[in-house]
Chains A and B, each alone.
Chain A
Amino acid sequence: SQQGEEDPQALSIQEGENATMNCSYKTSINNLQWYRQNSGRGLVHLILIRSNEREKHSGRLRVTLDTSKKSSSLLITASRAADTASYFCATVKTQGGSEKLVFGKGTKLTVNP
């Protein structure tokens, strides 16, 4: 099964509200990353949180990591219409001596003006 599963699958909020997206994973990790993808565009790296960190901030973004529950959350505060995008978490999978990112299915966030 896939490493990194986000919920909810879709989230619609009003501008100014906070948006929280969750990600669960199955195996142990060294770090977990969050990405944003605008419709039809490539991915933009948002934030990386290491396994020994519990919380990390970047501007209006706050990421938490609970390794005991194998879960992470991404909080976007004071959302803006421009935050409308799909958000993916990704973890690293080691296979055959190489490391690769494995993405969750993503959460589609719509921020209504």
Chain B
Amino acid sequence: GAVVSQHPSWVICKSGTSVKIECRSLDFQATTMFWYRQFPKQSLMLMATSNEGSKATYEQGVEKDKFLINHASLTLSTLTVTSAHPEDSSFYICSAETDWWEQYFGPGTRLTVT
């Protein structure tokens, strides 16, 4: 089946630094990838839609200058949390969409900002 990986699986960083999270579709090409954030005991909230070769589309309330998304190839999208603060601590999940419109999710990245 379609497999999506994320790296790193967890990261701890200091306030003010930037962190990059990678999302890869391992055995299929994904024109579209999605980035979600999940706070403890809450549902997933879509942050942005990442389209290969074009700018990402951000959901209302998500700062595009803070959460930089790059979808440089059909198998890789990256999310960079710039100038991270403790309130950015969360579980970040990406998903990749297949040609037959199914989303496969990565295992998630736990970000802790101290």
Contact = CB atoms under 8 A, between A and B. Distances in A.
Interface residues of A, number: 19
B57 A98 contact: yes
Interface stretch (B12-20, B69-77, B79-87, B101-109): B101-109
Contacts, number: 44
Interface string A51-69: 0000000000000000000
B62 interface: no
Contact of A105 (B42, B102, B103, B105): B42
Contacts of B110: 40
A44 B104 CA distance: 7
B44 interface: yes
Counting chain A CB atoms within 10 Å of each CB, which of B43, B49, B57 scores highest?
Answer: B43
B46 A45 contact: no
A44 B57 CA distance: 24
B28 interface: no
Contact of B105 (A2, A43, A98): A43
- Which secondary structure characterizes the binding site on chain B? strand
A102 B93 CA distance: 14
Contact of A41 (B49, B95, B104, B108): B108
- Which secondary structure characterizes the binding site on chain A? strand
B56 to A, nearest CB: 11
B57 A43 contact: no
Closest 9 CB pairs of A and B: A43-B105, A42-B107, A42-B105, A42-B108, A103-B43, A103-B44, A105-B43, A42-B106, A42-B93
Interface of B: 4, 6, 34, 42-46, 49, 57, 91, 93, 95, 102-108, 110
Given A40-B91, A45-B105, A96-B57, 20 more contacts: A2-B43, A35-B105, A40-B108, A41-B108, A42-B6, A42-B105, A42-B106, A42-B107, A43-B93, A44-B105, A48-B102, A88-B44, A98-B49, A101-B34, A101-B46, A101-B103, A103-B43, A104-B43, A105-B43, A106-B43
